[in-house]
Structure 1
């Protein structure tokens, strides 16, 4: 669901009264969010993520169901090992990817040599770049050729990265296929120095309609990935959220794209080593079972702190689950209402800070590498583990700030 800013006093953010945000018509929800696939009888809590908006408003972001009141459902794909089963940590004695994304093409177009020098300074051997395409052709093709030649001479691979949630729609897919054709033609025209690959970071769950039919949209995502790989003429690198192997429709979507996948890159955006490992395990187990390499992505970009409101099951409360047609929703109300079996209620319990530092290293590469040193033997316990990708390349970084303080 898209975020919604509401004129609620900041005290409501910290768990005080919701009365200041009462809608014009009594009984109407202050805020509504989809809560797909949750089993109400199994919920121990509902988490509502919020952050301060403009003035005294707060912005409601999303709701998350916490299920620990029922046994975990059997995995949809029984061939995938249980990620909860421990793997023995193994020392890292093999070459593993050290990659990074670069979404701004001017970084590499203006000075390819400086760009590659910066990547080397940061210990990278693979960069994923945004390639400008105009009227069906790669723009600045000479600069791209120069970048690839410089990178290959220094042992660095260069892949293009494409991504937009709209790629799961008919119009968005057509647009993306036209771009894939342009990249394919570039490779044909530069057969001695082609791109090393193409990666897709589509993220359909960011679309408002995803909550209405998540399994159907994951199926569309798989169909789009397959079509794009066929258009490009080669298998593609696929970016996924860490939770995809665990949700209904996720294993099926992954199985569908398996034959078009060169590797999976998993957004395990956490900073604590134990949390990184926990987030990465389901995809690593899936990749191990399906003989597909898995790269673990870590975030370094700037993010804002969020606040997490915790609501517990109760006879009455300000949060209530309801179902409208096929969509299960959670409603936040100004006043407490009584729950029923069909529409259970949840009462506000407390608010905690969800700091951005638990998700992003905030540009602190020494901290990222220290965390990686600690967690990588655990990641390497999976045969599928193929290295890391950093979300955000720091330009012209000082080597002492990156490698020598570990």
Structure 2
């Protein structure tokens, strides 16, 4: 009898361990309603890099309170390395990854290659001096060449240079062994690459480990519809696609941002968006633009 009891207990223990192994290894993001979506993360951009020197605790406490998993932090040579190390270490202690962020429209043009080299060299040099808990966990670029006059005067030529620079960037970043992502507009599927029938969005998604769409709208359905084509691309290509939302005022119209609606509506729509987009295996999560604007949105709501 004792042998049988021990055998049953062992089998139960093994079953529990298998269950934990299968489900515990999945990255999940929990919503207020208790629903979880595998591999879904929350991320945000931090462009005001100097704030990691003056109010790191406020930034990280807020990020933790909002369930942020990744902060895309713009690199500024005006900020000391010790500030980066301290901020990333504190973020790591809260379970938040920090990815190195930078970019400019002319990074898409041939003459912008030295800027790509300088950025990747800075990251490589930093990683070489930082302890494991102080290191970046990824790289993101935000290039946006459609803001250049060349986009209108010679779009095919601009796209070719952009493609060349993306390949160049991949080669530079590969030795760092960090995931490489890009912020992209949601409408690149309206354009074809200069050679072939492939859409520009498909080409870009295929080249990066993941992409974050600037799918800025002020309701979940509209954001999802803006991102759906890229989510389908991601499924075919085995890549993650993150949907983006805006919290800051926009000159393009009130429908672009949650600035008018406030943080309570934002949270409601994020939950709905996650439910809609989780139908796609490519859905990587939601990115909120940006951390400072988000904090201001919540503060305005708290003051009402």
TM-score normalized by structure 2? 0.77
Cα 1:397–1:174 change in 2 (3 A) is: closer
Q: Find out whether 1:272 has 2:219 as its counterpart.
A: yes
Asked if the contact 1:284/1:385 (under 8 Å) is kept, the reply is yes
Number of the residue aligned with 1:210: 151
Match runs of 1:290-301 below 5 Å:
290-301=237-248
Asked if the contact 2:202/2:233 (under 8 Å) is kept, the reply is no
Q: Find out whether 1:197 has 2:172 as its counterpart.
A: no
Aligned equivalents of 1:279 and 1:392: distance in 2? 19
Alignment equivalent of 1:149, drawn from 89, 95, 98: 89
Number of the residue aligned with 2:57: 113
Structure 1, gaps ≥5 residues long: 1-90, 307-355
Number of the residue aligned with 2:191: 247
Aligned equivalents of 2:216 and 2:90: distance in 1? 31
SS in structure 2 of the partner of residue 366 of structure 1 = helix
TM-score normalized by structure 1? 0.59
SS in structure 2 of the partner of residue 361 of structure 1 = coil
Number of the residue aligned with 1:169: 109
Match runs of 1:123-142 below 5 Å:
123-133=67-77, 139-142=79-82
Number of the residue aligned with 1:362: 259
Alignment equivalent of 2:234, drawn from 287, 296, 316: 287
SS in structure 1 of the partner of residue 291 of structure 2 = coil
Number of the residue aligned with 2:173: 232
Deviation of 1:171 (Å): 2.8
Deviation of 1:147 (Å): 0.8
Asked if the contact 2:47/2:73 (under 8 Å) is kept, the reply is yes
Aligned equivalents of 2:73 and 2:62: distance in 1? 14
SS in structure 2 of the partner of residue 93 of structure 1 = strand
Deviation of 1:271 (Å): 1.0
Asked if the contact 1:100/1:390 (under 8 Å) is kept, the reply is yes
Asked if the contact 1:302/1:360 (under 8 Å) is kept, the reply is yes
Asked if the contact 1:112/1:143 (under 8 Å) is kept, the reply is no
Structure 2, gaps ≥5 residues long: 1-34
Deviation of 1:257 (Å): 4.8
- What value does the CA root-mean-square deviation take over the aligned residues? 2.6
Asked if the contact 2:259/2:297 (under 8 Å) is kept, the reply is no
Higher helix proportion (structure 1 or 2): 2
Aligned equivalents of 1:401 and 1:259: distance in 2? 39
Cα 1:226–1:396 change in 2 (3 A) is: closer
Aligned equivalents of 2:58 and 2:219: distance in 1? 32
Asked if the contact 2:247/2:293 (under 8 Å) is kept, the reply is no
Q: Highest CA radius of gyration, 1 or 2?
A: 1
